[in-house]
């Protein structure tokens, strides 16, 4: 056993020895908890936002909401009342949110697009194990948003669940009514069903968000949830059948004057989902439709050292994937502003976009006692496709994927987990196993660690490659102080096909520290808090022996209307192609909801920038800008504007190396909560490419949808000597596509 593995085993051994002692200490420190026992109602509750049922005339369960943003522990400033009830089909929640009606920010928009509105949120830990929870968002117009929150990686907005919501603006604010079907959520049935619940309210004009029960910094929400006991809650084991039909027609320009024949494709698929037990679900899909209704926004691709990361958008892979979250140093978020302060070399250990083109896939996931588990299997036709140039020796063959994950709850939000990931194709195979844990030493300090080991054989009789990966992270936060430290190491031959990974054969550490200075100003003051910080990172390339390092000083100002202003100076060294480059830059970031209809965000960086040429790299002067805005000129209209700019000049003669401008425009008109029309225009000046998309969409509930879309691609090219010359001439229409999809979610109870 090598020294690295001995160190991992030693840490885990110390962890287990300390579990009983630390838990005993924390138990003595906790006050006696009061549980919530909602009323079982026989009255029919109509989800209409009126709150005119008798059940909502009882005493509210909630007490005063306390802020967690921008400061902790202050009264939210506006009264909020919450009620809970249930029957044999649904869990019910009702909110009465007091405010001045002219100051309430709301919109009628696409699902999950109401993030900049006033809203209420229900966080519901249905298993009561403090490892994951459902999050249900509702704005004052009744528009829904939902997500899964994991103790490992945080909130994932991708999943969509079937539930009801309605809201109504009133003379003294607004009110919300929510109904969550029992067959939508997983829970353990019985005479006493224990869950955890926490409520959030966001008030835009105050620039504040608060919770009940009150939360404290340095911990996850799970540790502050109120225990809820539902008596005789009986689950509904339902079979869901999801048939779908898609039609695609693509036409490409043959030459300057002619179009080629249209390429049409139809797909009929079906998906199944069945609750084997109250907390265990199996899913399968045959000939699935894995098309994306929304195209990926253009990103900056020029002079990038690492590949771009695109999130998963395919429904089958999005739902229930929180169990696969593995503890790595991926994206470390600022515990104050939740902005990105550090990007790890592995962004995700299980990135399902690696499964490109499956003809079938299956999942089994659930909870048994303290154990949460998930298994995913799928095939992939993509590696067996014909090549554009040359002959694919494995044409027609398919890859097989198998991924398994289990997590054991150690109490509170602590866990111990294992992971397996495997991909087999054409005699080659990649297998990786991992162990991870998260443990909270006292309430404000949390330690995370993991180890991965891989075995790879690229083809039959090829030499076996083995390698390991180690990650560790420590976080400590109290209201006035934050400190974080992280370490990651990846061996040269560590390969994990399911992961999105940028680099191996390196080790790297990072340290971050900073106080939070709360200002004793009036409630209507623009400046709320100041957060200076220091950050240091060092990377060692084990292959070349060269070291990257940098230090940064930053200053953050937290303003009213959810506003933030950040200034950062960074100085460091970066190695590329055997050379070490000294570089510094200044970075500015700001965001603000200026008016109810206008949100602005911008980040600008100026300073040294490496030109990552493999033959002749050099250090130039670069300017990078991202401007983003959301305009909502009417209740039903939502517009996103994004502008990306990247320019590099040589230092010696100021000669321009490149300039890239990218424009992304998205406009959505929401006729009602079910039907919208969306238009998108995306332009890349470097590639001289323009993409237009138009979509009409009707969604009754997630799964029951009708989409009709049309898209066009324009490129700068010229027809010369019977061939296309790219990059010359005007933009011309080179491809058109028509897309139609219909699916229906059939629930059999």
| Residues 655-666 pLDDT 10s | 999 999 999 999
> Looking at 235-345, which runs of residues are DSSP E strands?
239-252, 263-277, 280-286, 331-333, 340-343
Nearest to 429 by CA among 391, 392, 468, 402: 402
pLDDT band at 572 (very low <50, low <70, confident <90, very high): very high
Q: What percent of the chain lies above the pLDDT cut of 90?
A: 61
Residue 290 is predicted with a pLDDT of: 58
| Separation between Cα atoms, residue 442 and residue 22, nearest integer Å | 7
pLDDT band at 328 (very low <50, low <70, confident <90, very high): confident
pLDDT band at 598 (very low <50, low <70, confident <90, very high): very high
Tokens matching residue 619: 């250090």
| Separation between Cα atoms, residue 55 and residue 230, nearest integer Å | 16
pLDDT band at 166 (very low <50, low <70, confident <90, very high): very high
Tokens matching residue 634: 């009417």
Residue 642 is predicted with a pLDDT of: 96
Measured in residues, the chain has a length of 749
**Residue position matching structure tokens 């409520």:** 199
> In which region does residue 666 sit, left (phi positive, over 0), alpha (psi from -120 to 50) or beta (all else)?
beta
First-last CA distance in the chain = 53
pLDDT band at 289 (very low <50, low <70, confident <90, very high): low
Residue 453 is predicted with a pLDDT of: 98
Instruction: Name the CATH code of domain 33-233 (choices 2.60.40.1190, 3.40.50.300, 2.60.120.620, 3.40.50.1820).
Output: 2.60.40.1190
The residue that leads in pLDDT, 16 or 473, is 473
CB-based contact 28:21 (threshold 8 Å):
no
pLDDT at residue 320 tops 70: no
pLDDT band at 332 (very low <50, low <70, confident <90, very high): low
Tokens matching residue 304: 């990038």
CB-based contact 379:359 (threshold 8 Å):
yes
Residue 292 is predicted with a pLDDT of: 52
Residue 4 is predicted with a pLDDT of: 45
pLDDT at residue 19 tops 90: no
* C-alpha dist (Å) from residue 611 to 181, 235, 684: 55, 59, 20
Q: Which residues contact 57 (CB under 8 A, 6 or more apart)?
A: none
Tokens matching residue 446: 């949390």
Residue 25 is predicted with a pLDDT of: 35
| Separation between Cα atoms, residue 343 and residue 109, nearest integer Å | 32
pLDDT at residue 29 tops 70: no
pLDDT band at 522 (very low <50, low <70, confident <90, very high): low
Q: What percent of the chain lies above the pLDDT cut of 70?
A: 91
pLDDT at residue 32 tops 60: no
CB atoms within 10 A of CB 340: 10
pLDDT at residue 49 tops 80: yes
For residue 298, the number of C-alpha atoms closer than 13 Å in the C-beta half-sphere is 29
What average pLDDT does the structure give for the chain?
88
Burial 208-240 (b: 16+ CB within 10 A, else e): bbbbbbbbbbbbbbbbbbbebebeebebeebeb
Residue 570 is predicted with a pLDDT of: 95
CB-based contact 741:705 (threshold 8 Å):
yes
| Separation between Cα atoms, residue 586 and residue 224, nearest integer Å | 39
| Separation between Cα atoms, residue 380 and residue 394, nearest integer Å | 13
334-349 tens-digit pLDDT: 544 445 566 788 989 9
CB-based contact 488:328 (threshold 8 Å):
yes
Q: What is the DSSP letter of 32?
A: P
Helices (H) and strands (E) in the chain, counts: 2, 43
Residue 178 is predicted with a pLDDT of: 97
Sorted by where each begins, the domain ranges of the chain are 33-233
Residue 306 is predicted with a pLDDT of: 82
Mean pLDDT of 573-577: 93
Tokens matching residue 282: 């199996």
Residue 322 is predicted with a pLDDT of: 77
Q: Which residues contact 548 (CB under 8 A, 6 or more apart)?
A: 508, 537, 538, 539, 541, 572, 573, 574, 575
| Separation between Cα atoms, residue 645 and residue 7, nearest integer Å | 46
Mean pLDDT of 101-110: 90
| Separation between Cα atoms, residue 602 and residue 336, nearest integer Å | 19
Residue 183 is predicted with a pLDDT of: 85
pLDDT at residue 287 tops 70: yes
Residue 683 is predicted with a pLDDT of: 96
pLDDT at residue 330 tops 60: yes
Residue 523 is predicted with a pLDDT of: 62
């Amino acid at each position: 056993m090598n020294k690295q593995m001995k160190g991992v085993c030693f840490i885990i051994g110390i962890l287990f020895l300390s579990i009983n002692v630390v838990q005993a200490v924390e138990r003595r420190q906790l006050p006696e908890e009061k549980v919530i026992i909602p009323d079982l109602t026989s009255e029919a509750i109509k989800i209409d936002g009126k709150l005119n049922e008798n059940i909502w005339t009882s005493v509210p369960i909630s007490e005063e909401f306390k802020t967690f943003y921008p400061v902790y522990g202050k009264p939210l400033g506006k009264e909020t009342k919450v009620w809970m009830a249930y029957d044999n089909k649904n869990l019910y929640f009702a909110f009465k949110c007091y405010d001045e009606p002219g100051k309430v920010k709301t919109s009628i928009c696409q699902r999950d697009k109401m993030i900049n509105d006033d809203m209420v949120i229900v966080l519901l830990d249905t298993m009561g194990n403090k490892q994951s929870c459902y999050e249900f968002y509702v704005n004052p117009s009744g528009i829904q948003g939902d997500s899964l929150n994991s103790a490992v990686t945080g909130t994932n907005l991708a999943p969509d669940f079937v539930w009801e919501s309605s809201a109504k603006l009133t003379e003294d604010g607004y009110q919300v009514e929510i109904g969550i079907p029992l067959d939508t959520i997983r829970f353990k049935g019985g005479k006493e069903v224990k869950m955890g619940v926490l409520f959030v309210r966001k008030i835009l004009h105050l620039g504040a968000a608060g919770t009940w029960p009150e939360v404290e910094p340095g911990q996850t929400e799970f540790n502050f949830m109120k225990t809820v006991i539902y008596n005789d809650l009986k689950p509904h084991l339902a079979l869901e059948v999801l048939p779908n039909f898609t039609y695609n027609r693509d036409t490409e320009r043959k030459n300057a004057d002619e179009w080629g024949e249209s390429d049409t494709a139809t797909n009929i698929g079906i998906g199944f989902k069945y609750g084997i037990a109250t907390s265990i679900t199996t899913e399968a899909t045959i000939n699935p439709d894995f098309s994306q209704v929304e195209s990926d926004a253009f990103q900056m691709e020029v002079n990038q050292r690492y590949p771009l990361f695109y999130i998963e958008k395919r429904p089958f892979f999005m739902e229930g994937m929180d169990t696969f979250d593995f503890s790595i140093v991926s994206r470390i978020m600022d515990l104050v502003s939740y902005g990105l302060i550090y990007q790890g070399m592995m962004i995700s250990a299980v990135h399902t976009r690696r499964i490109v083109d499956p003809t079938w896939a299956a999942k089994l996931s659930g909870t048994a006692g303290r154990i949460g588990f998930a298994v995913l299997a799928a095939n992939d036709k993509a590696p067996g496709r014909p090549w554009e140039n040359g002959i694919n020796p494995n044409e027609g063959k398919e890859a097989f994927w198998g991924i398994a994950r289990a997590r054991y709850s150690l109490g509170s939000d602590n866990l111990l987990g294992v992971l397996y990931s495997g991909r087999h194709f054409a005699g080659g195979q990649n297998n990786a196993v991992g162990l991870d844990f998260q443990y909270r030493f006292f309430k404000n300090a949390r330690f995370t660690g993991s180890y991965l080991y891989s075995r790879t054989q690229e083809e039959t009789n090829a030499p076996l490659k083995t390698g390991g990966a180690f990650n560790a992270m420590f976080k400590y936060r109290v209201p006035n102080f934050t400190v974080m430290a992280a370490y990651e190491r990846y061996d040269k031959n560590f390969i994990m096909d399911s992961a999105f990974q940028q680099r191996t054969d390196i080790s790297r550490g990072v340290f971050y520290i900073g106080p939070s200075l709360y200002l004793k100003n009036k409630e209507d003051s623009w400046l709320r808090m100041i957060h200076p910080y220091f950050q240091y990172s060092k990377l060692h390339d084990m292959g070349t022996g060269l070291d990257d390092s940098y230090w940064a000083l930053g200053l953050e100002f937290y303003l009213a209307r959810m506003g933030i202003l950040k200034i950062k100076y960074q100085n460091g060294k970066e190695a590329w192609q055997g050379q070490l480059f000294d570089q510094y830059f200044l970075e500015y970031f700001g965001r603000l909801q200026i008016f109810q209809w206008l949100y602005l965000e911008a980040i600008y960086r100026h300073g040294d920038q490496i030109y990552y040429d493999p033959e002749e790299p050099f250090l130039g002067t670069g300017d990078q800008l991202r401007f983003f805005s959301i305009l909502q000129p009417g209740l039903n209209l939502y517009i996103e504007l994004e502008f990306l700019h990247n320019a590099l000049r040589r230092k010696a003669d100021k000669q321009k190396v490149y300039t890239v401008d990218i424009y992304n425009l998205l406009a959505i008109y929401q006729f009602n909560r079910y039907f919208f029309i969306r238009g998108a225009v995306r332009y890349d000046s470097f590639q001289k490419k323009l993409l237009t998309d138009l979509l009409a969409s009707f969604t009754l509930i997630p799964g029951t949808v009708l989409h009709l879309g049309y898209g066009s691609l324009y490129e700068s090219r010229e027809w010369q000597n019977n061939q296309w010359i790219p990059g010359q001439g005007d933009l011309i229409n080179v491809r058109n596509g028509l897309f139609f999809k219909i699916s229906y979610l059939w629930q059999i109870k």
